[in-house]
């Protein structure tokens, strides 16, 4: 038990109780030490200001002026480009227990992580860079804990300082990866050509000329990034939050939204599991995925869905093979993911728009009933009925027209007779004038 840890306890009685416990049970010293460090860190974080601007500039004071607590540093990797939890160049200080991110300009601690809490260490080729470089992703077992993401160039040497040799030593990428494996006590998982190789054409220029790609471009909600199918799981990055889904946590996968150019893949996790590094980005009610699957699995318990969309169609076969080799259940063709069949539209059998069942059109329609009623309609003589509703309107019109023609003919005949009579009268008047 470190005396520095006991100094943090200002309660004299509690300190004496811990000393008594240690004297009778010395094997509990590591656990007590971890408890003290844990709650000290919690208290320090809770005392930080609530201002979000200041929260982004969070700094951790080194305990007792020592960057690694009570343990001496083993290795310091200098001037590393860190992407998470902060984005800046920092020194990585390794001790037997902690990995500490420290500012190169002073003893300011940006982040500290217990090495024993790490569950996955990944090393992938940094996408979207012509110069060959590598990205290291370290994920704690706790999904709520922040991951540590940093990168380094392939050709440029990385400076490493050891206590027994203060002069920085330059290591290439291969030597640095081997060193990290030893310091972290974890295997550094890298892409394997036999596990997944993208169908995208290799780069034609730069340091990666002719090298195949081991990732695909995809979207997670509105965020684009690289999806790396690795031997142990799916890595998506490298914009915060960077996510990792272990294959052991995957319950099933569903392929949907397939077009001639792209497709979507929804990965459902087992009950109670979320992606490491910021699993809150997923939702058990993913809108687009909800149309292709039930929101409850066979056990009736909702799982977290992660939908990777707009993946190039050329990589469909490679990703499908990856999932099959990993023995992930494919629910694309399951009954619960079948598209819901829409009922056939009911035909309108009449002008009134009445919807009738099969075989009833023309028998129960409104139009038929209206026609029958029109045939029985008998208006009164005094009623003024519009012609468009009078079934005898045409016959009446014809009779009227005939009567009009007869009257017109008679009128013309009378006119001629009157004309002749008029002419005769005029002749008699002329004769009388001559005789006189």
Closest CA to 298 of 339, 246, 334, 247: 334
Does residue 371 fall inside a structural domain? no
Closest CA to 276 of 92, 51, 121, 61: 121
Dist. CA 381–CA 79, nearest whole Å: 109
Statement to judge: residues 61 and 37 lie in one domain: no
Instruction: Decide: helix, strand or coil at residue 189.
Output: strand
Statement to judge: residues 176 and 62 lie in one domain: yes
For 1, other C-beta atoms within 10 Å of its C-beta total 16
**Residue length, the chain?**
436
Report the b/e string of 2-15 with b at 16+ CB within 10 A: eeebbeeeeeeeee
Statement to judge: residues 90 and 170 lie in one domain: yes
* Helix (H), strand (E) at residue 7: helix 3-7
Does residue 232 fall inside a structural domain? yes
Does residue 387 fall inside a structural domain? no
What's the structural domain count of the chain? 3
Statement to judge: residues 168 and 228 lie in one domain: no
Q: Residue 262 sits in a domain of what CATH number? A: 2.30.29.30
Beta pairing partners, 218: 225
Peptide bond preceding 85 in cis form (omega within 30 of 0)? yes
Q: Among residues 286, 307, 337, which one ends one of the domains?
A: 337
Statement to judge: residues 172 and 235 lie in one domain: no
Residue 120 CB-density burial (10 A; 0-12 exposed, 13-18 middle, 19+ buried): buried
Closest CA to 90 of 148, 23, 19, 45: 148
Does residue 311 fall inside a structural domain? yes
Dist. CA 427–CA 430, nearest whole Å: 5
Does residue 65 fall inside a structural domain? yes
Q: Which DSSP letter does residue 192 get?
A: -
Q: Among residues 284, 314, 337, which one ends one of the domains?
A: 337
Beta pairing partners, 233: 230, 246
Sole residue written with tokens 């416990």: 21
Instruction: Flag whether the pTM goes above 0.75.
Output: no
Report the b/e string of 240-277 with b at 16+ CB within 10 A: bbbbbbbbebbbbbbbbbeeeebbbbbbbbeeebbbbb
Listed as own residue / partner, the contacts of 21-28 with beta carbons closer than 8 Å and 24 or more positions apart are none
Statement to judge: residues 106 and 161 lie in one domain: yes
Q: Residue 115 sits in a domain of what CATH number? A: 2.30.29.150
Q: Among residues 171, 189, 207, which one ends one of the domains?
A: 189
Statement to judge: residues 62 and 36 lie in one domain: no
Mean pLDDT, contiguous 10-residue spans, the chain (436 residues): 61 76 80 76 54 45 51 91 93 94 88 94 89 92 91 84 84 88 94 92 70 92 94 93 94 95 96 80 44 39 82 96 95 68 59 46 41 52 51 52 52 48 48 46
Q: How far is CA 134 from CA 128, 144, 149, 227, 283, in A?
A: 11, 25, 11, 15, 31
Statement to judge: residues 153 and 247 lie in one domain: no
Peptide bond preceding 241 in cis form (omega within 30 of 0)? yes
Does residue 222 fall inside a structural domain? yes
Does residue 426 fall inside a structural domain? no
Statement to judge: residues 268 and 224 lie in one domain: yes
Query: What pLDDT sits at residue 99?
Result: 95
Contacts of 309 (CB under 8 A, 6+ apart): 218, 219, 220, 257, 262, 264, 265, 288
Dist. CA 265–CA 169, nearest whole Å: 45
Query: What pLDDT sits at residue 44?
Result: 56
Does residue 388 fall inside a structural domain? no
Beta pairing partners, 158: 171
Statement to judge: residues 74 and 185 lie in one domain: yes
Dist. CA 396–CA 381, nearest whole Å: 13
Dist. CA 289–CA 286, nearest whole Å: 5
Statement to judge: residues 240 and 333 lie in one domain: yes
Dist. CA 300–CA 207, nearest whole Å: 51
Q: Which domain holds residue 39?
A: 17-47
Radius of gyration of the chain measured on its C-alpha atoms: 45
For 378, other C-beta atoms within 10 Å of its C-beta total 5
Statement to judge: residues 43 and 60 lie in one domain: no
Contacts of 409 (CB under 8 A, 6+ apart): none
Contacts of 263 (CB under 8 A, 6+ apart): 255, 256, 257, 311, 313, 316
Contacts of 311 (CB under 8 A, 6+ apart): 216, 217, 218, 227, 262, 263, 264, 265, 319
**292 in Cβ contact with 266 (< 8 Å):** yes
Closest CA to 124 of 43, 48, 207, 229: 229
């Amino acid at each position: 038990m470190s005396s520095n840890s006991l100094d943090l306890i200002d309660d004299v009685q509690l300190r004496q109780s811990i000393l008594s416990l240690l004297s009778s049970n010395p094997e509990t010293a590591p656990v007590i030490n971890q408890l003290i460090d844990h709650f000290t860190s919690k208290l320090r974080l809770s005392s930080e200001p609530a201002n979000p601007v200041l929260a982004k500039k969070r700094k951790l004071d080194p305990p007792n002026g020592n960057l690694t607590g009570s343990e001496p540093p083993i290795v310091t990797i200098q001037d590393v480009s860190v992407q998470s939890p902060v984005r800046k160049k920092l020194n990585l200080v390794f001790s037997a227990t902690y990995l500490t991110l420290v500012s190169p300009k002073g003893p300011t601690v940006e982040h500290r992580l217990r090495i024993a809490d790490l569950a996955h260490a990944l090393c992938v080729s940094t996408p979207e860079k012509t110069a060959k470089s590598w990205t290291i992703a370290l994920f704690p077992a706790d999904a709520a804990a922040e991951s540590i993401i940093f990168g380094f160039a392939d050709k440029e040497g990385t400076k490493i300082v050891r206590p027994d040799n203060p002069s920085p030593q330059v290591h290439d990428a291969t030597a640095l990866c081997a060193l990290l494996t030893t310091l972290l006590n974890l295997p550094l998982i890298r892409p394997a050509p036999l596990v997944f190789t993208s169908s995208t054409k290799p780069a034609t220029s730069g340091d990666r000329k002719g090298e195949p790609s081991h990732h695909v471009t995809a979207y997670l909600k509105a965020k684009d990034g690289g999806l790396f199918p690795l031997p142990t799981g799916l890595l998506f990055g490298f914009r915060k939050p960077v996510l990792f889904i272990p294959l052991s946590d995957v319950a099933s996968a569903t392929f949907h939204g397939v077009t001639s150019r792209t497709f979507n893949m929804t990965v459902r996790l087992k009950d109670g599991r979320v992606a490491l590094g910021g699993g809150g980005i997923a939702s058990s009610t993913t809108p687009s995925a909800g149309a292709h699957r039930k929101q409850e699995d066979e056990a009736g318990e909702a799982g977290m869905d992660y939908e990777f969309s707009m993946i190039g169609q050329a990589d469909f076969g490679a990703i499908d093979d990856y999932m099959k080799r990993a023995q992930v259940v494919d629910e694309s063709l399951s009954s619960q993911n079948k598209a819901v069949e829409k009922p056939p539209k009911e035909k309108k059998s009449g002008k009134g728009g009445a919807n009738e069942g099969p075989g009833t059109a023309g028998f129960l329609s409104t139009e038929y009933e209206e026609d029958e009623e029109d045939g029985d309609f008998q208006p009164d003589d005094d009623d003024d009925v519009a012609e468009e509703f009078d079934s005898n309107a045409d016959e009446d019109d014809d009779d009227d027209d005939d009567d009009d023609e007869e009257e017109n003919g008679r009128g013309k005949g009378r006119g001629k007779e009157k004309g002749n009579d008029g002419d005769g009268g005029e002749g008699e008047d002329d004769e009388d004038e001559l005789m006189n």
